[in-house]
Structure 1
Amino acid sequence: MSFEIDAQQICEQLEGTDRRQKTKVLEELRNLCRNAPENMSTEKMAESFDQLYLHLLKSYDDRFESVRDHAVQAVNAFLERLPPMDFHLLNVVSTLAERMGKAETVEPSEEIRLLYIGQLNLMVRQYAKMGNVGVFRECYPQVVKILIKSIKDDYPLVQREGCSTLVNLSRVADTQELRPFTESLQAALYGMLNHKHAQARISAIEAIGRLSLHMDASGEAMKRLFNEVSPLLMDTMPLVRREVGQMGILMLMELLDRYSFFERILPLVLCCLKDESPEVLSHIYPQWLKCGKLYFEENEAELCQQEISDLPVENYPKDVKRPTIGCRGLVQRSLRLLKLITRETSDWKDNVRLHALKLLYQFVLHAEAAMTAKFFEIYGDLAHACIDPVAEVNAEAAKVADLMGRLLSYDAWIDHGFDGLERNARESYMRCFYHMFTSSLGGSYDQMMKLAKLLRSTDYSHTLKPGFQLYILKLLDTILDKSLKINAGQEELQDLYEAVYVSAVKVMALSYSLSGNLINEGKMLIDKIVKFEQISEAKLHERWFPLALKDVENLDAALEDNAEPVLLLDGLINICLIRATYIVDLMEKVKLVFEHCCDSAQVKVFSSLSVATLYWSKTMDIERERSTQMLSEFISQIVEPYLTWKAGSNAEAMRSLAMATLCALAQGAESEAMEVLPSLAKHMPSLLEDRNVTTRHYAIKAVIYFREMSVEDLKPLGYATMQRMDDPSAGIRILAALAVGKLKPKFSDSEKEAEHEKEVWDAFVKRAMDLLLLYHESPEKDIKAAVEVTLKVLAKSHPEAWEERYQRALAMVHKKEQLDELYKKLTIKDGPESEANTS
Structure 2
Amino acid sequence: MAALAAADTPAPLGPAETAETAELSRALSRLLPGLETDSKLGRRRALEALQRELEAVQPGPSDAAGAAAFQGPWTRLLLPRLLRCLADPAEGCRALATHLLDLGLRRAARPHDALPHLLPALAARLAGSEVSMRPPAEPCEELRLALVQLLRLAVSLGGTALAPYLDDAVRVLRCTLLDPFAAVRRESCACATALARATPDHFHMQSESLVGPLMQTIAHQHWKVRVAVIEATGTVIQFGSGKSVDDVLSHLAQRLFDDVAQVRQAVTTVVGSWLLELRDRYSFFHKLIPLLLSSLDDELPEIRQSAAGLWEQIGQQWQKENEDDLKDKLDFATLPPPHYPLQENRPGLGCRELVFRNLSKILPGLCQDLTDWVVGTRVKAAQLLAVLLLHAEDHTTQHLELVLRALQHACADEEAAVVSSCTKSAELIGTFVSPEVFLKFTLSPLRKSPSASSLRVLAAVLRGCPREALQPHLSAVAMELAKAHICQASENKLYLEHLLLCVQALMAGGQEDCSTCSLPLLQVLLAILAISGTADLDRKVHETVGSLAELEGSDGPQDIYRKHMAALMEWVMASHGNWTVYSPELAQFCVLVSQTGPAVGEALHYVIPTLRTCLQPTRDPQMRLKLLSLLSKVLLRAQETVDSQGQLHAYLETLVTDILIPNLQWHAGRTAAAIRTAAVAALWALVSSGTLSAEQILEVQGALMPQMVTTLEEDSQMTRMLSCRIINLFLQTAGNRSEPEKLVKIYPELLKRLDDVSNEVRIAAAGTLTTWLKCVRNDDSKSSYQSTIQYLYKELLVYLDDPEPAIQDVVLEVLKEGSVLFPEILVQETEAVLHKHRSPAHCEQLLKHLQALVVAH
Q: Is the 8 A contact 2:455 2:498 kept in 1?
A: yes
Deviation at 1:612, TM superposition (A): 3.0
Q: Does 1:638 align with 2:664?
A: no
User: SS in structure 1 opposite 2:224?
Assistant: helix
Selected match of 1:117 from 148, 172, 175: 148
User: SS in structure 2 opposite 1:373?
Assistant: helix
CA distance in 2, matches of 1:698, 1:196: 79
Deviations 1:404-425 (A, max 9, x none): 3234455653444444544443
Deviation at 1:680, TM superposition (A): 0.6
CA distance in 1, matches of 2:106, 2:795: 123
Q: Does 1:235 align with 2:264?
A: no
Letter in 2 for 1:260: S
Letter in 2 for 1:506: A
CA distance in 1, matches of 2:103, 2:820: 127
1:331 aligned partner:
355
Deviation at 1:340, TM superposition (A): 1.8
1:679 aligned partner:
703
2:90 aligned partner:
64
Q: Is the 8 A contact 1:684 1:717 kept in 2?
A: no
Q: Which moved more, 1:322-331 or 1:245-254?
A: 322-331
1:177 aligned partner:
202
Q: For residues 134 and 310 of structure 1, do their structure 2 counterparts lie closer, same or farther at Cα, with a shift above 3 Å needed? A: same
Deviations 1:698-750 (A, max 9, x none): 323433332433144344344423322211123323333344335577689xx
2:498 aligned partner:
471
Identity fraction in percent: 22
Q: Which moved more, 1:643-652 or 1:731-740?
A: 731-740
Q: Is the 8 A contact 2:664 2:676 kept in 1?
A: yes
CA distance in 1, matches of 2:107, 2:47: 17
CA distance in 2, matches of 1:831, 1:315: 96
Q: Is the 8 A contact 2:70 2:108 kept in 1?
A: yes
Q: Is the 8 A contact 1:14 1:22 kept in 2?
A: yes
For structure 1, the 5+ residue unaligned runs are 128-132, 487-492
1:490 aligned partner:
none
Q: For residues 53 and 481 of structure 1, do their structure 2 counterparts lie closer, same or farther at Cα, with a shift above 3 Å needed? A: closer
Deviation at 1:781, TM superposition (A): 5.5
Deviation at 1:272, TM superposition (A): 0.8
Q: Is the 8 A contact 2:24 2:70 kept in 1?
A: no
Q: Which moved more, 1:1-10 or 1:806-815?
A: 1-10
Q: Does 1:433 align with 2:447?
A: no
User: SS in structure 2 opposite 1:362?
Assistant: helix
1:520 aligned partner:
539
1:534 aligned partner:
554
Matches within 5 A, 1:392-791: 392-410=417-435, 412-442=437-467, 443-463=469-489, 464-484=491-511, 486=513, 495-512=516-533, 515-531=534-550, 532-535=552-555, 537-538=557-558, 540-549=560-569, 550-551=571-572, 559=580, 561-562=581-582, 564-576=584-596, 579-584=601-606, 587-588=609-610, 591-592=613-614, 598-621=620-643, 624=646, 626-668=647-689, 670-671=691-692, 674=697, 675-707=699-731, 708-709=733-734, 710-712=738-740, 713-743=742-772, 754-756=779-781, 758-759=782-783, 774-775=798-799, 777-780=801-804, 783=807
Q: Which moved more, 1:64-73 or 1:679-688?
A: 64-73
User: SS in structure 1 opposite 2:637?
Assistant: helix
Letter in 2 for 1:108: P
User: SS in structure 2 opposite 1:518?
Assistant: helix
Deviations 1:32-70 (A, max 9, x none): 545513154212322232111122111111222222222
Letter in 1 for 2:153: L
Larger radius of gyration: 2
Q: For residues 304 and 32 of structure 1, do their structure 2 counterparts lie closer, same or farther at Cα, with a shift above 3 Å needed? A: farther
Deviation at 1:641, TM superposition (A): 0.9
Deviation at 1:192, TM superposition (A): 1.7
Q: Is the 8 A contact 1:590 1:605 kept in 2?
A: no
Q: Is the 8 A contact 2:621 2:671 kept in 1?
A: yes
1:130 aligned partner:
none
Matches within 5 A, 1:4-153: 4=24, 6-30=27-51, 32-34=53-55, 36-38=58-60, 39-40=62-63, 41-50=66-75, 51-101=77-127, 102-103=129-130, 104-105=134-135, 106-127=137-158, 133-153=159-179
CA distance in 2, matches of 1:541, 1:828: 65
User: SS in structure 2 opposite 1:333?
Assistant: helix
Q: Is the 8 A contact 2:577 2:614 kept in 1?
A: yes
Deviation at 1:448, TM superposition (A): 0.3
Q: For residues 121 and 692 of structure 1, do their structure 2 counterparts lie closer, same or farther at Cα, with a shift above 3 Å needed? A: same
Q: Which moved more, 1:634-643 or 1:780-789?
A: 780-789
Matches within 5 A, 1:279-428: 279-300=302-323, 305-306=328-329, 308-336=332-360, 337-410=362-435, 412-428=437-453
Q: Does 1:156 align with 2:182?
A: yes
Deviations 1:496-544 (A, max 9, x none): 11221122112211224xx354221221232234332435644543443
Deviation at 1:587, TM superposition (A): 4.1
Letter in 2 for 1:324: G
Deviation at 1:620, TM superposition (A): 2.4
CA distance in 2, matches of 1:45, 1:651: 117
Q: For residues 225 and 689 of structure 1, do their structure 2 counterparts lie closer, same or farther at Cα, with a shift above 3 Å needed? A: same
CA distance in 2, matches of 1:694, 1:592: 24
Deviation at 1:689, TM superposition (A): 0.7
Q: Is the 8 A contact 2:708 2:726 kept in 1?
A: no
1:815 aligned partner:
839
Q: Is the 8 A contact 1:587 1:634 kept in 2?
A: no
Deviation at 1:354, TM superposition (A): 0.8
User: SS in structure 2 opposite 1:211?
Assistant: helix
Deviation at 1:633, TM superposition (A): 0.8
Deviations 1:55-96 (A, max 9, x none): 211111122222222221221122223345443123111111
Q: Which moved more, 1:1-10 or 1:496-505?
A: 1-10
Calculate the TM-score normalised by the size of structure 2.
0.86
Q: For residues 315 and 761 of structure 1, do their structure 2 counterparts lie closer, same or farther at Cα, with a shift above 3 Å needed? A: farther
CA distance in 2, matches of 1:73, 1:703: 117
Q: Does 1:222 align with 2:242?
A: no
Q: Which moved more, 1:599-608 or 1:350-359?
A: 599-608
Calculate the TM-score normalised by the size of structure 1.
0.87
CA distance in 1, matches of 2:790, 2:410: 79
User: SS in structure 2 opposite 1:367?
Assistant: helix
Letter in 2 for 1:297: K
Deviation at 1:821, TM superposition (A): 6.1
CA distance in 1, matches of 2:573, 2:805: 51
